[in-house]
């Protein structure tokens, strides 16, 4: 069983002993600390389709009411829908009940500020501190909060996507696209059909029932997507689309059943945006170099940020980026809002495809070719991650061909490849991402660094 506290919230497996898992006692404590920190009177709560979602929702909403907050419960909702709902409702904050790409036994609380954006690292650390101190002050009986159910925000989210200047509804409708979509038994199966209808797109949904009993591992990686890939190979579809349980990550599949590459979701959308809007881009350190290449082709400047959505959005604001995100399929388009949003990504990608008049595989062939190997090392309680990262940094400090970046773990950049080691914020693992011209080269580089870690354990 697992329980992880981080600046981005709390996350863990459901069931088991207190202190070891995500359980009602810790949910109450953490929610109370957040409510006391955020201040104000109104908080939005949304949840994905996880089996444990209703239980966690009841604990969160009851705790907020006990703190005197009026809760706007938007029910089943994507992460970007909840982010937008905070702004649209004029709320003081929001809590998203989702463990994103984690398996079915996991759940988590993600915390938003009054802008509908994730708390900064400093604010998240303060909430954790307050939760540990447990110096709480609940409302008197006459000052308890209320709970209002409001299911209007899915449509309001769709309306906001359709209103974006670069979403070309006319061109999309004229192409008469037919898409196959895997919504992994969560909230994507609720909102995406309405988006496709609004865009004039014919669709077939796989795993569309919002049961939380995921049909496969919910992380949108090729090894987990054989079902939709086989469906695409049968023909009859222009595009395959895959989202994660809270619909902030997005992966595409070509018309012939080959992966477009989750790293190239952001690259392709950024290329479209930059062809219409001059500006800069940002992605995290673990993302493909292809975004840098595309950005420079359009005359912009690319900047890398530490991993984590709040780190990317902070850097985007600093450099005035017009598009950004993460190589895991997360598209952040400030014209909409500062949050990863698969609906925005889908609409912009279809607009690009419609205007270019090409197939998905043909579009993919226009981008620089890189291959990323994504490996992981499971941690034990005895693993000293900091010592491992120091050792790796020392190994390459004297290498004239290597540039070492330690703002988030350790990334070693070579002229023709890179490797990045960092401790995950969401799982008890070290992520080892490496990129090169071929998958063999990328995998070899990653495994070279993994062996260093194994030797130290």
Give me the active site residues, please: 100
Which candidate, 388, 369, 391, places its Cα nearest to that of 380? 388
Cα dihedral 16/428/315/434 (nearest 10) = -150
**The two structure tokens encoding residue 7:** 């600046």
**The two structure tokens encoding residue 245:** 């349980």
Other Cβ atoms within 10 Å of 401 Cβ, number: 10
> Given phi > 0 = left and psi -120 to 50 = alpha, else beta, which region is 379?
beta
Q: Write the secondary structure of 152-168 as one string of H (helix), E (strand) and C (coil).
A: CHHHHHHHHHHCCCCCC
103/11 Cα distance (integer angstroms): 12
275/296 Cα distance (integer angstroms): 12
Check if the beta carbon of residue 102 is closer than 8 Å to that of residue 108. Answer: yes
Other Cβ atoms within 10 Å of 348 Cβ, number: 26
Cα dihedral 332/337/341/344 (nearest 10) = -90
DSSP string, 374-436: EEEEE--TT--HHHHHHHHHHHHTT-TT-EEE-SSSEEEEETTEEEEEEE-SSSSEEEEEEEE
Angle at 183 between CA 367 and CA 308, to 5 degrees: 60
Which candidate, 383, 384, 410, places its Cα nearest to that of 399? 410
The bridge status of strand 70-76 relative to strand 147-149 is parallel
Check if the beta carbon of residue 447 is closer than 8 Å to that of residue 377. Answer: no
Angle at 114 between CA 308 and CA 284, to 5 degrees: 15
DSSP state of 146: -
437/169 Cα distance (integer angstroms): 36
Could you tell me how far CA 269 lies from the centroid of its own chain?
A: 16
């Amino acid at each position: 069983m697992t329980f992880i506290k981080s600046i981005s919230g709390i996350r863990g497996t459901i069931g088991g002993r207190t202190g070891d898992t995500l359980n009602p006692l810790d949910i109450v404590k953490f929610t109370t600390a957040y409510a006391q920190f955020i201040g104000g009177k109104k908080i939005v709560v949304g949840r994905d389709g996880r089996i444990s979602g209703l239980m966690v929702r009841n604990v969160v909403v009851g705790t907020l009411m006990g703190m005197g907050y009026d809760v706007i419960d938007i029910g089943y909702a994507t992460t970007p829908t909840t982010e937008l709902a905070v702004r649209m409702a004029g709320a003081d904050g929001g809590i998203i009940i989702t463990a994103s790409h984690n398996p079915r036994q996991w759940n988590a609380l993600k915390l938003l500020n009054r802008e509908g954006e994730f708390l900064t690292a400093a604010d998240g650390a303060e909430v954790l501190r307050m939760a540990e101190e447990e110096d709480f002050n609940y409302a008197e009986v006459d000052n308890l909060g209320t709970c209002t159910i409001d299911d209007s925000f899915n449509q309001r989210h769709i309306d906001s996507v359709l209103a974006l200047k670069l979403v070309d509804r006319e061109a999309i409708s004229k192409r008469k696209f037919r898409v196959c979509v895997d919504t992994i038994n969560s909230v994507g199966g609720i909102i995406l059909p309405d988006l496709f209808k609004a865009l004039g797109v014919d669709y077939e949904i796989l795993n569309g029932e919002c049961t939380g009993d995921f049909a496969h591992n919910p992380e949108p990686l090729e090894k987990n997507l054989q079902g939709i890939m086989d469906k695409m190979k049968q023909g009859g579809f222009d595009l395959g689309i895959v989202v994660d349980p809270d619909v902030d990550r997005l992966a595409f599949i070509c018309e012939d059943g080959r992966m477009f590459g989750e790293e190239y979701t952001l690259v392709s959308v950024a290329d479209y945006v930059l062809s219409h809007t001059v500006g800069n881009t940002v992605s995290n350190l673990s993302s493909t170099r292809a975004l840098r290449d595309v950005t420079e082709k359009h005359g912009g400047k690319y900047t890398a940020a530490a991993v984590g959505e709040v780190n990317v959005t902070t850097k985007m604001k600093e450099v005035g980026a017009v598009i950004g995100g993460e190589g895991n399929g997360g598209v952040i388009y400030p014209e909409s809002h500062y949050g990863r949003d698969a609906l925005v990504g889908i609409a912009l990608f279809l607009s690009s495809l419609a205007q270019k008049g090409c197939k998905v595989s043909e579009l993919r062939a226009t981008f620089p070719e890189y291959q990323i190997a994504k490996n992981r090392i499971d941690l034990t309680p005895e693993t000293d991650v900091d010592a491992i990262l120091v050792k790796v940094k020392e190994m390459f400090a004297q290498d004239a061909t290597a540039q070492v970046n330690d703002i988030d773990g350790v990334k070693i950049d070579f002229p023709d490849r890179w490797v990045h080691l960092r401790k995950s914020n969401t799982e008890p693992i070290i992520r080892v991402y490496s990129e090169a011209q071929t998958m063999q080269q990328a995998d070899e580089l990653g495994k070279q660094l993994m062996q260093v870690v194994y030797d130290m354990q």
